[in-house]
Amino acid sequence: MEQIELGDVTVTRVKEYYGPVGMTPGQFFPTVPESAWREDTAWHAPHFLDPHTGIVNSAVQSWLLRSEGKTILVDTGVGNHKERPYSPVWSHLRTGFLADLARAGVAPEDVDIVINTHLHVDHVGWNTRLEGRSWVPTFPNATYLLPKDDYDFWNPANGHEPLLGRGNQNVFEDSVAPVQEAGQVQLWEGSHRIDARLRLDAAPGHTPGSSVLTLVSGTDRAVFVGDLLHSPVQLVAPDHNSCFCEDPVRARITRRRVLGWAADHNALVVPAHLGGHGAAEVARSGSGFAVKGWAPFTPYARAQSERTAKTSDAADAADTAAAARGNESRVTTA
């Protein structure tokens, strides 16, 4: 199953990539004791950790929501053909993301709202696509909701020096600026109400403008947490950050606050990068939390190799066709 219903909102998982990200658990989560991975191998492997190579497996995926007649895309992954000199695992991908989106019944022109939970390299890539030698908005009819604090932080003109170093190089220029120049960006701060069921809230720490999307519909609850956590180990021990958190102290505070709300309201926690079942309900347990139940999404069948993600001519052809359909709509409605 790749689609669930939460009250009156439909949630569909759209995969871009699932596989190794070139980092060991110790590199990805520097403060987690090595013993935690050895003792809980059965829990982490194979969905979150390759037991043969010892490399972390991660998913890059978007969450497609249909709410109150609107089609909403939460995070847009890495994108194709992007030049990422300091993030080689994400450089020059050629995945079938738009084809997978089409299989979910959505063409680029159908998307009404794009949400970037934050502006890291693996959350904004499909904001744009390559047309000739120019980066143009992939979703020509969408409003792109961007957290202002992240927009300001990652804008090279402001001269910030991020913990990520040059890992986000070119990202603002090819995946953020083009949609701003097209007049499709809406910056928000603090909190932003999308409709009666969906609300964005600031959740700083991982980045200055990181955000979460809360869904409340009928008796169902969910919170789309972006990179608040990357692994189930951060549910059990929420004080452990990934190596990519800009403000470790705020990241820990925010993680505990959001997970506490989820546990107290029986809400589904939906991170950006979990493979396996993709999301989980949590309960308070000691000083941390425990998985109460996994979402019914079907685990990805196998890890994709980095090489495969960069050499798919079939994916290129399918995405070119999907983008062309979006472009026809953009020209027609201009």
What DSSP letter does each residue of 111-153 carry, written as one string? --EEE-SS--TTTSGGGEEEETTEEEESSTT-EEEEEHHHHHH
Task: Tokens for 150, please give them.
Answer: 């992240």
Residue 250, SS3 per DSSP: helix
Q: Which one-letter DSSP state was computed for residue 331?
A: H
Rg of the chain, C-alpha, whole Å:
19
Which CB contacts under 8 angstroms, 24+ apart, belong to 32-35?
32/233, 32/237, 32/240
**Which amino acid is present at 82?**
K
Please choose, from the candidates 320, 56, 69, the residue with its C-alpha nearest in 3D space to the C-alpha of residue 197: 69
Task: Tokens for 68, please give them.
Answer: 């109150």
1-10, 15-24, 33-42, 308-317: least confident range = 308-317
Residue 29, SS3 per DSSP: coil
- Omega before residue 156 within 30° of 0, cis: no
Instruction: HSE, CB side, 13 Å, CA atoms: give it for residue 95.
Output: 29
| Alpha-carbon span 281 to 265, nearest angstrom | 10
119-133, 187-201, 228-242, 308-322: least confident range = 308-322
* 8 A C-beta contact, residue 110 and residue 297: no
Task: Tokens for 216, please give them.
Answer: 């409340």
* 8 A C-beta contact, residue 80 and residue 129: yes
Average pLDDT, the chain: 91
* 8 A C-beta contact, residue 74 and residue 225: no
Instruction: HSE, CB side, 13 Å, CA atoms: give it for residue 109.
Output: 14
Q: Would you mind telling me the total number of residues written for the chain in this entry?
A: 334
| Alpha-carbon span 108 to 149, nearest angstrom | 27
Task: Tokens for 230, please give them.
Answer: 């990357």
1-15, 36-50, 180-194, 233-247: least confident range = 36-50
Give 162-201 pLDDT, tens digit per residue: 988 889 999 999 999 999 999 999 999 999 999 999 999 9
| Alpha-carbon span 84 to 11, nearest angstrom | 30
**Predicted confidence (pLDDT) at residue 303 exceeds the cutoff of 70:** no
Query: What predicted TM-score, i.e. pTM, was given to this entire model?
Result: 0.92
The CA distances from residue 4 to 90, 280, 297, in Å, are 29, 13, 8
pLDDT (0 to 100) of residue 330? 31
| Alpha-carbon span 66 to 64, nearest angstrom | 7
**Any residues with CB less than 8 A from the CB of 134 and at least 6 apart, and which?**
178
Task: Please report, rounded to a whole number, the percentage of residues in the chain having pLDDT higher than 90.
Answer: 84
DSSP per-residue letters across 177-230: HHHHHTT-EEEE-SEEE-SSSEEEEE--SSSTT-EEEEEEETTEEEEEEETS-S
**Predicted confidence (pLDDT) at residue 329 exceeds the cutoff of 60:** no
Task: Tokens for 281, please give them.
Answer: 């309900």
**Predicted confidence (pLDDT) at residue 34 exceeds the cutoff of 60:** yes
